[in-house]
Amino acid sequence: MIFIIISLILFLDQLTKILASKLLVLNQSSALIKGILSLSLVHNRGAAFGVLKGQVWLFTFSAFFALALIYIELKKDKKGRPFVYRLALALVAAGALGNLIDRILFGYVIDFLDFHIWPVFNIADSSVTIGALLLGYSIFRLKNK
């Protein structure tokens, strides 16, 4: 089940990035819901919010390291781990893989979802964020049982 979740998110992430790259013009916005949601093609050469621009090697190494740790954790006894915990790791892994693919292929991450109150992001970023929140929640629940 975890492999299916990772595969599905990775597929959606890469598909939406391909579509955004083909259908949008770099650094220009196209409103979907005026004032709320636009599609804006951005090539992010940094981390979240564009920090540490140009540090592709650092992000690549960090992604490989995180993926290795997640793989080790997911290979442990599944019966002792709540599904939410494993789901959280899968979401983080899928997002890390999606953005890692971009960095390796292009040297930047393709972002396109623009809510105007937040930096432009993509499906992989959303997956990592939701996964991190779920991971925090599940660890908190495990420690308070």
Just list the catalytic residues: 111, 125
Find all residues with CB under 8 Å of 103, minimum gap 6, and list them: 56, 59, 60, 63, 109
Give 116-122 contacts, CB < 8 A, sequence gap 24+.
Answer: 116/35, 116/36, 116/37, 116/38, 119/48, 119/49, 119/50, 120/40, 120/42, 120/44, 122/13, 122/16, 122/17, 122/98
**Integer Cα distance of 53 and 70 in angstroms:** 25
Tokens of 136: 């925090």
